[in-house]
Amino acid sequence: MAEAKRIRDVFGKGRAALMPYFTVGYPDYEISLNVIEACVEAGADLMELGMSFSDPLADGPTIQHSTQVALENGITVKHCLNAVADLRSRGIEIPLLLMGYINPILAYGLEKFVRDAARAGASGFIVPDLPPDEAGEMRSLCKHYDLDMVFLLAPNSSDERIQFVTELSSGFVYLVSVLGITGERDALPVELAEFLSRVRSQTEKPLAVGFGISTPDQAAVVGEIADGVIVGSALIKAVGQADQPVDAARKFVAELKRALV
């Protein structure tokens, strides 16, 4: 099994780190692993592996569709943990973060989930509906198993909230570019630079921006002001529309990567 790189080690290299999101099990399990591997080959610095849930409150139609397909394919939390181990066995060393909602994790068993994720080779977690105020047990387990717990900040966060969340988030801080759900957007919010500046004044941890980044040009703009760029819906759309989904993923991620260099 490949030795995973630490999340913090992929930032601070003179350009923004690229973190694609992809749903495990879409359009099926094997193709999803091949897509993720192609993203890594094309230059992804980290990967966010989506764990399907029937009520993904932070996700827009594109990711919701991919997770519904995965659920219909029978994909479970266990399959997502197996995906991490399978990707490590293929020699993938970049950080792999599991992104999912708290209910399936609790159903699996919180301690068992964190332990099994560590054994599989995961690097950390993003759980959008688990606020840091309520994440004490999971944070303690992550510390025990040497995994990162990444928390999210929205543009309407107060300075007090920014300070609280950035102190507890490890690996990096996930900045939601807009209020609302994931999905492609025609333009980046004009307030994004000011939001980043507010958070930057409170922490030295890397800041990665997600939600609504759809094109290489948008990625380049975000990459000028953030430490990381997260792209999910646009990648899933490119894969879903392609006759050769793995090739489409490789091409799309390579274009994003070129925009960040």
Tell me the per-residue pLDDT of 214-244, one tens digit each, with 9 for 90 and over: 899 999 999 999 999 999 999 999 999 999 9
Please say whether the beta carbons of 211 and 180 come within 8 A: yes
CA distance 73 to 25: 7
For the segment 187-201, the average pLDDT, to the nearest whole number, is: 87
Q: Report the alpha-carbon angle 72-77-78, nearest 5.
A: 105
Q: Which two tokens stand for residue 159?
A: 């300075």
Residues forming a β-bridge with 125: 98, 149
Using the predicted structure, report yes or no on whether residue 5 has a pLDDT greater than 90: no
Burial class (CB in 10 A: 0-12, 13-18, 19+), 225: middle
Average pLDDT of the residues of the chain:
93
Please say whether the beta carbons of 66 and 236 come within 8 A: yes
Q: What pLDDT, on a 0 to 100 scale, did the predictor assign at position 180? A: 47
CA distance 221 to 77: 35
Contacts of 109 (CB under 8 A, 6+ apart): none
CA distance 24 to 75: 8
Q: Is domain 14-256 classified as CATH 3.20.20.70?
A: yes
48 part of the active site: yes
55 part of the active site: no
Express each pLDDT in 77-134 by its tens digit. Answer: 999 999 999 999 999 999 999 999 999 999 999 999 999 999 999 999 999 999 999 9
Q: Which of 28, 41, 55, 59 is catalytic?
A: 59
Q: What percent of the chain has pLDDT over 70?
A: 93
CA distance 231 to 233: 7
Quick one: which H or E segment has residue 59? Answer: none
Q: Which of 37, 48, 86, 116 is catalytic?
A: 48
Instruction: Tell me the residue type at 130.
Output: L
Higher-pLDDT residue of 86 and 181 is: 86
Using the predicted structure, report yes or no on whether residue 190 has a pLDDT greater than 80: no
**56: confidence class by pLDDT, cuts 50, 70, 90:** low
